[in-house]
Amino acid sequence: METENQQKRNIIFHIRRFDPELDEVPRWQKFTVSVEPGMTVLDGLHHIKETQDASLSWRYSCRMGVCGSCAMLINGIPTLACNTQIMDVTSQKLTLAALPNFDIIRDLVPDLTPMFRDHVSIQPYIQRDDNKEMENPTREFFQTHDELEEYLQFTYCIKCGCCAAACPTMAADRKYMGPMPLAQAYRYNKDSRDGGQKDRNDVITASHGVFSCHYAGECSNVCPKGVDPARAIQHMKKDLVLGYLRLRKDKKPCQVVGIPTGESKPAIAAPEHTVK
Amino acid sequence: MKDKRSYDNHLGIVGWLGGGRWGIERYLYTLHRVTGVGILLFFIIHIFESSLRILGRETWDAVMEVMTNPIFKAGEILVFAAFAFHALNGIRLIFIELGLAVGKAEDPIYPYRSSINTQRSLMIVTMILSALLMIAGGYDLIFLGH
């Protein structure tokens, strides 16, 4: 018990607060929290809400880095509150603020609407002509492992908005689509089952689209899921340039796998026992 | 639906500078933009200055007299440094934007390695070349007086 108390430490939370009914501009407020090893920033916020100020607001859901709701600026870096242990990032002072490059709704709650609007505009779903097969699937589509690997990394995106908050182009260009929607456009463009590249490319090659990215790389540095949007965006630029110069064939969506013939393949011999 | 007013939290151009907690590529991004604007400004002044020849020899000689001012010499050195950085960093960006230095998609396994790590050696090489070009140009402008 004594060791536990020794490991505890008082940490001052500096939280940038904004109440739309009272404040013209955000204000900083200090809270002191007794932190023990293993406590996450999200735990600290809950502690403040339960014991010090019930009006403190933030967004959260899963508490385990899956939903992407609790993204905020923690000690100047956009990241997830549930994935960040307080003692890993500070020993005295912790600053928390809402994600920049979005409007603040209240306290630590950013308005992510523009990001999701751009996400919808890139049509983030598989598009094919064979509607009958899409609505009443009979068999799976044929996709090789290599084809899957081309886009799998970008499917792990949880749409938390950390990339947009870190992006310097987003900071100065309000109409820029941002790393998340662009990386997701690449994710679907690269999917061998998809045939919607043309519609998607019309959206992303417009002004404030993919060519507004100049590779500051910050989106990839801060992504809590290792999605690497900057990589997706550069590969998409390459594909667009090669397509424009007609050096790359248009991709046709893959077909469904063949009808099972009922014939069984020869059995693979089981390996010998290693222990006799 | 927006029932209450929200606070505009866009960082603007200040966001280019960050808070000192960003990666080096972000500073190269900012410097690339600043040097680009600087070189453009130089071109405008240069074209204006050259066009004054049309007003006759006397005006041209007067302009050349003004150009001997050390401020313009320092400006010349700065413009060359900006050019050296902008050109070499631009070559790095061309490689990157053609997908040549960012690597293929890979499984995100913690600690994550991103395309930033993949292009780091290219960044170091281009920055060394840029520094060598700056030193050579600086030596030429300062000591050889070209």
Question: What would the pLDDT profile of B12-38 be if each residue is shown by its tens digit?
Answer: 888 887 655 678 999 999 999 999 999
Single-letter residue type at B5: R
* Domain around B54: 20-142
Q: Which residues of A105-114 are buried (b: 16+ CB within 10 A; e: fewer)?
A: bbbbbbbbeb
Beta bridge partners of A95: A14
- Of B22 and A61, more confident: A61
Rounded mean pLDDT of chain A? Answer: 93
Kindly tell me if the per-residue pLDDT of A252 is higher than 90.
Answer: no
* DSSP line for A18-67: --TTT-SS-EEEEEEEEE-TT-BHHHHHHHHHHHT-TT-----SSSSSSS
Give A85's DSSP letter.
Answer: B
How far apart are alpha carbons B42 and B79 in whole angstroms?
7
Beta bridge partners of A10: A34
Pick A111's closest partner by Cβ from B6, B16, B18: B6
How far does A139 lie from chain B, in Å, by closest CA?
Answer: 27
pLDDT at res. A207: 93
How far apart are alpha carbons A210 and A178 in whole angstroms?
8
Cβ–Cβ contact B21 with A under 8 A = yes
A112-244 carries CATH number 1.10.1060.10: yes
Cβ–Cβ contact B95 with A under 8 A = no
Least confident of A75-84, A113-122, A244-253, B133-142: A244-253
Mutate to test the interface with A, among B6, B89, B95 (most CBs of A within 10 A): B6
Kindly tell me if the per-residue pLDDT of A134 is higher than 70.
Answer: yes
CA angle A164/A147/B93 to nearest 5° reads 45
Within a domain: B125: yes
Mutate to test the interface with B, among A231, A239, A247 (most CBs of B within 10 A): A231
Domain ranges of chain A: 8-110, 112-244
User: Using the beta-carbon criterion (under 8 Å), do B116 and A217 form an inter-chain contact?
Assistant: yes
Kindly tell me if the per-residue pLDDT of B4 is higher than 70.
Answer: no
How far does B59 lie from chain A, in Å, by closest CA?
Answer: 42
Within a domain: B7: no
Residues A85-103, mean pLDDT to the nearest whole number: 95
How far apart are alpha carbons A185 and A232 in whole angstroms?
9
Within a domain: B64: yes
Within a domain: B113: yes
Residues in contact with A264: Cβ distance below 8 Å, sequence separation at least 6, in sequence order: none
Kindly tell me if the per-residue pLDDT of A1 is higher than 70.
Answer: no
How far apart are alpha carbons A224 and A144 in whole angstroms?
28
Encoding tokens for residue B66?
């003004």
Question: What would the pLDDT profile of A143-174 be if each residue is shown by its tens digit?
Answer: 999 999 999 999 999 999 999 999 999 999 99
Backbone Cα Rg of chain A:
24
Kindly tell me if the per-residue pLDDT of A225 is higher than 80.
Answer: yes
A8-110 in CATH: which number? 3.10.20.30
pLDDT at res. B3: 53
The Cα-based distances of A91 to A28, A34, A72, B142 in angstroms read 20, 11, 19, 50
Kindly tell me if the per-residue pLDDT of A2 is higher than 80.
Answer: no
Single-letter residue type at B97: E
pLDDT at res. A5: 66
Closest residue in chain B to residue A240, using alpha carbons only: B98
Pick A168's closest partner by Cβ from B4, B16, B98: B16
Helix, strand, coil shares of chain B, percent, nearest 5, are 70, 0, 30
Burial category of B91 from C-beta neighbours within 10 Å (exposed 0-12, middle 13-18, buried 19 and up): middle
Pairing of strands A27-35, A77-80: unpaired
B134 touches B81 (CB < 8 A): yes
User: Using the beta-carbon criterion (under 8 Å), do B4 and A231 form an inter-chain contact?
Assistant: no
CATH number at residue B24: 1.20.1300.10
- Of A219 and B141, more confident: A219
- Of A89 and A251, more confident: A89
How far apart are alpha carbons B128 and B114 in whole angstroms?
23
Within a domain: B59: yes
Within a domain: B4: no
pLDDT band at A99 (very low <50, low <70, confident <90, very high): very high
Kindly tell me if the per-residue pLDDT of B2 is higher than 60.
Answer: no
The Cα-based distances of A89 to A40, A82, A96, A220, B137 in angstroms read 10, 13, 12, 19, 44
Kindly tell me if the per-residue pLDDT of B89 is higher than 60.
Answer: yes
Pick A168's closest partner by Cβ from B21, B29, B109: B29
Q: How many domains does chain B have?
A: 1
